[in-house]
A = this chain, B = another copy of it.
């Protein structure tokens, strides 16, 4: 919001980095403003200067991921062939999930995050999650297509973040999630 070319590089950026780390470690609810302030070496009030509320911090932390997802949906929607749409969306989504599994777990399992996501979307009527599901489900989807897309979308996200599978190698999990998604949408199995 400022005019400076690199104006937002200092405390605000540090704060978001610290908050992201603490959120993934303790959850949003489990992270107090005091913990953030201590990790930064400042007081609660200093934190409060940069963000008017804790929800604002949560929103700022998750915003980059949401923007990437949004861009992915836009790119996929622009493709002509439905198979290509699904391929791109599935691959991009799985990549996002894998890239930060802990963060995705946070997304999927914290009511504060759900609230922040809800607050966030400025444009679409029902959230761009609908747009993403719309691409997966296809044009004029019936109930089956819609439910299938929803199960797949939420299942992949949850599975990516599950502590049970934390030991699984990133590459292995990426391949498996992609595979399960492709099977579900009738896409041919890919070669190694």
Q: Is A88 an interface residue (CB 8 A)?
A: no
Complex interface: stretch among A45-53, A67-75, A104-112? A104-112
Contact of A150 among B29, B110, B111, B164 (CB under 8 A): B164
Q: Are A30 and B111 in contact (CB under 8 A)?
A: yes
Contact of A180 among B29, B108, B151, B165 (CB under 8 A): B151
Q: A29-B111, A179-B144 are in contact. Are A159 and B164 (CB under 8 A)?
A: no
- Copies, count: 2
Q: Is A166 an interface residue (CB 8 A)?
A: no
Q: Is A177 an interface residue (CB 8 A)?
A: yes
Q: Which residues of B contact A168 (CB under 8 A)?
A: 143
Q: Is A184 an interface residue (CB 8 A)?
A: yes
Residue in A108, A150, A168, A177 whose Cβ sees the most chain B Cβ within 10 Å? A150
Contact of A159 among B110, B154, B183 (CB under 8 A): B154
Q: Which residues of B contact A66 (CB under 8 A)?
A: none
CB nearest to A114 among chain B residues? B109
Chain A contact residues, CB within 8 Å of chain B: 27, 29-30, 108-112, 114, 126, 129-130, 143-144, 146-148, 150-156, 158-159, 162, 164-165, 168, 172-173, 176-177, 179-180, 183-184
